[in-house]
Amino acid sequence: MPDIGSSTILRYLDRGIMGIVAPHIATEADARQLVRACYFGPLGERSFGANRGTDYNAGIADKAAYYREANEQMLVCALLDNLDAILAVPGIDLYSIGPNDFAQSLGYPGQPDHPEVVKTMQEITNRIRQAGRRMQGDVMQGAWVSDMLLDAGRRILSSEHG
């Protein structure tokens, strides 16, 4: 998301997106705004309308059931700037740290692998998990295409062909 404004998030949700990664969540108010924008009531204040994500309301006779189902299926991820207040906000499924922005905020611009950055990110990850919450890496696996291609090439070159 470019921002956490309700109208911005709704543009994506109305197209059928079921997961939101929100940047720069620095305060409890930011976290609450994110939740309000992503979920239907009672947890949030998401708007409902005839759109592509609902197949223009075709076959949605029970909107209350649709709201419940949509809320259950929603995945909300907060890119953190301030931890303590944000962990208290219900409705955020997982958390993530933007390593480059985080490194810069610690005074190490362009150095996401700096030992102090890595140590602090691990401390934050531990605090999140101790609070019973999950980090993005706990539920999502990612790999760079270039890494996968290089690995495949290595396997081909290292295999014995008789």
Question: What pLDDT digit, counting tens, does each position of 15-45 carry?
Answer: 888 889 888 888 889 999 999 999 999 999 9
The answer to whether the predicted template modeling score (pTM) of the entire model surpasses 0.75 is no
Q: Give the least confident one: 5-14, 83-92, 119-128.
A: 83-92
Structure tokens at 76: 């909300």
Strand partners, 95: 78, 135
Find all residues with CB under 8 Å of 119, minimum gap 6, and list them: none
Mean pLDDT of 4-9: 94
Check if the beta carbon of residue 86 is closer than 8 Å to that of residue 80. Answer: yes
Beta strand 134-135 pairing with 94-96: parallel
**Which residue's structure tokens are 């969540």?**
25
Check if the beta carbon of residue 26 is closer than 8 Å to that of residue 67. Answer: no
pLDDT tens track for 102-125: 888 788 888 989 999 999 999 999
Check if the beta carbon of residue 125 is closer than 8 Å to that of residue 135. Answer: yes
Complete domains list, the chain, with CATH:
6-96+132-158 (3.20.20.60)
Structure tokens at 123: 């401390």
In degrees to the nearest 10, what's the CA dihedral of 55, 56, 59, 61?
A: 130
Check if the beta carbon of residue 1 is closer than 8 Å to that of residue 12. Answer: yes
Question: Distance between CA 110 and CA 38 in Å, rounded?
Answer: 32
Q: Where are the alpha helices (DSSP H) in 20-144?
A: 28-38, 63-73, 84-87, 99-105, 115-130, 136-139
Q: Check pLDDT > 50 for residue 162.
A: no
Q: Check pLDDT > 70 for residue 55.
A: no
